[in-house]
Structure 1
Amino acid sequence: MAIYAIGDVQGCYDSLQRLLEKIQFSPENDQLWFVGDLVNRGTKSLKTVRFIKGLGDASLTVLGNHDISLIAMHYGVLPKSPSLKKFLKSKHREELIEWLRHQKVFHVDKKLGVCMAHAGISPQWTLKEAKKYAKEIQVPLRGDDTKEWLRQVYGNKPNLWSEDLQSYERHRYILNAFMRMRYCNVKDGSLDLKLNGVPKMTKPGSTKQVPWFLWKGRKQIPLRIIFGHWSSLGYYHDDNVTSLDTGCVWGRQLTAVRLDGDAYPLISETCGNLS
């Protein structure tokens, strides 16, 4: 059995199929882990989600910010994106939104020595805390009052974690950390949710913001963290993190890494824009 993690698909169904051919994926024998953002800018979001849902136990998904936004569009919390109109008009809409609502925010596999979240893990959290906080927001996301919860959790503040945060403010930070985080402030680790460009791997002290995984105060996570979300960062692999968003939707590549084993071999498929 082979286990592969795959970067942000964003509705690029054809590119995904070509990548699966390249890795000789067998749903009877293998498993795919998706880092989130199954939907949005590509032209085949509906087909992509139906395919991944149809894989059953052969796939595992954590939600990304675009997936959450699609759920919010379904409930009328956000305006409908032109690229998702086909999805939102589909007769399968209710079924697929219900499936998305019940996907994980964070996944841990201690046997493999890896964990996965769309944007990463807040640098101020331990693994135990990250698991706890992911479960906190999964409850309202899957509950009966999802619409009101989504109305309240959009926003950039608070951007600094405190265990004293309560209610929607607490959930807003947790959601942003798992779904939207890229940079944090060098001094205190607060999230900068506006920066999204290519990180400058500069000397300590020469910049005010650093990638969350390079913050000097980051709590050590005893597992490799698999994440996506950051297409301008692209593929990045160091001792503790692997970034897999290689910008397929921008005409670059869709990337997979094999997780079972120690080598983490990289497989990529060159993408046609929006394919």
Structure 2
Amino acid sequence: MAHYFVGDIQGCFEELQLILAKVDFNPSKDELWAVGDLVARGNGSLQTLRYLKSLDASAKITLGNHDLHLLALNGKVKRPNPKDHLDELLKADDLPQLIDWIRKQPLVQTLPSHNVIMTHAGVPPQWDLETLLTESKAVSEALQEDDYIKSLIAKMYTDEADLWDSKSTGLVRLRYCINALTRMRYLNTDGSLDFLCKTPITEKSSELTPWFEFDSELKRSHTLVFGHWAALMGVVNQPNMQALDTGCCWGEHLTLWHLETNEKIEQNKIYN
């Protein structure tokens, strides 16, 4: 069995098919691990979701901020952004089935046999594995509630839940987990999340540090696979890190990482 990890697809379905063809991906014996942000800027969000759903157990998914935003759009909490090219998806006859499938996807996937952890944006350096699994499970359970739109999705849009507090409860705790695992890039000196800066800082800042440069228990014991931060273009200069968002939807390329060979395969953006 081969394990292939793919960066943010963002509806770039044609590029996804081309990159999988390059490695002769066979779902009967291989697994495709997707770091989240399955939908949005590309033109093939509907096809992407249908394909990944069809892979069943051969697809391992983590939810990204755009995937959660799709739940908000479906629940009429937010209005569509024309730049996201989601009209076809939102009008699809099988949208309810696709939404139910998305709700069942977690915020974290682990591969214990290889000590690999996959999330969309990263893992807070304050967390150990037990905390990561416990907090993400709480969000997954909240997404399965009948009133998840009203109780969670409609209330998750906030920058206030930016600092981990093990004593926090309820919605505050869920919000922090969502913000950390789907939106995190930089941390302030106190470990709180910064939501403003997205571009790599060329000179070391006294205030902001990429989350992956903080020391952490999981950083030493596992390979951390993430996407979300296209501006990095896959460069983190850290051991045990795989940054896979390389901006395909922005005109760059899609990246596939083959775990067993440690090889990265690229597919340039296709312009039709």
Aligned with 1:236: secondary structure?
coil
How many pairs align?
A: 267
The answer (yes or no) to whether the contact 1:37–1:64 under 8 Å persists in 2 is yes
After superposition, give the CA deviation of every residue in 1:227-261 in whole Å (9 maximum; x if it has no partner).
0000001113531211000000011110011113x
**Aligned-partner Cα distance in 1 for 2:166–2:57:** 35
Task: Tell me what 1:229 maps to.
Answer: 228
Aligned with 1:239: secondary structure?
coil
Displacement of 1:27: 1.4
Aligned with 1:67: secondary structure?
helix
The answer (yes or no) to whether the contact 1:153–1:169 under 8 Å persists in 2 is no
Task: Tell me what 1:123 maps to.
Answer: 125
**Aligned-partner Cα distance in 2 for 1:164–1:5:** 34
Aligned with 1:125: secondary structure?
coil
The answer (yes or no) to whether the contact 1:11–1:43 under 8 Å persists in 2 is yes
Displacement of 1:199: 3.5
Displacement of 1:198: 1.9
Moved more, 79-88 or 117-126: 79-88
2:134 counterpart (107, 110, 132):
132
Gaps in structure 2 of 5+ consecutive residues: none
Task: Tell me what 2:78 maps to.
Answer: 78
After superposition, give the CA deviation of every residue in 1:184-217 in whole Å (9 maximum; x if it has no partner).
01x2111001111124363xxx43101101125x
Q: How does 1:89-128 map to 2 (within 5 A)?
A: 89-128=91-130
**Aligned-partner Cα distance in 2 for 1:125–1:92:** 38
Determine what percentage of the aligned residue pairs are the same residue.
Answer: 37
Which AA in structure 2 matches 1:242? Q
Gaps in structure 1 of 5+ consecutive residues: none
Task: Tell me what 1:65 maps to.
Answer: 65
TM-score by length of 2: 0.94
**Aligned-partner Cα distance in 2 for 1:233–1:108:** 23
Task: Tell me what 1:158 maps to.
Answer: 161
After superposition, give the CA deviation of every residue in 1:35-61 in whole Å (9 maximum; x if it has no partner).
000000001100110011111122111
Where is the helix percentage greater, Structure 1 or Structure 2? Answer: 2
Decide whether aligned partners of structure 1 residues 77 and 3 sit closer, same or farther in structure 2, where only a CA change above 3 A counts. same
CA RMSD of superposed structures (Å): 1.4
After superposition, give the CA deviation of every residue in 1:92-132 in whole Å (9 maximum; x if it has no partner).
10000000000111011110220100001112111111011
Task: Tell me what 2:265 maps to.
Answer: 267
Displacement of 1:81: 2.8
The answer (yes or no) to whether the contact 2:124–2:211 under 8 Å persists in 1 is yes
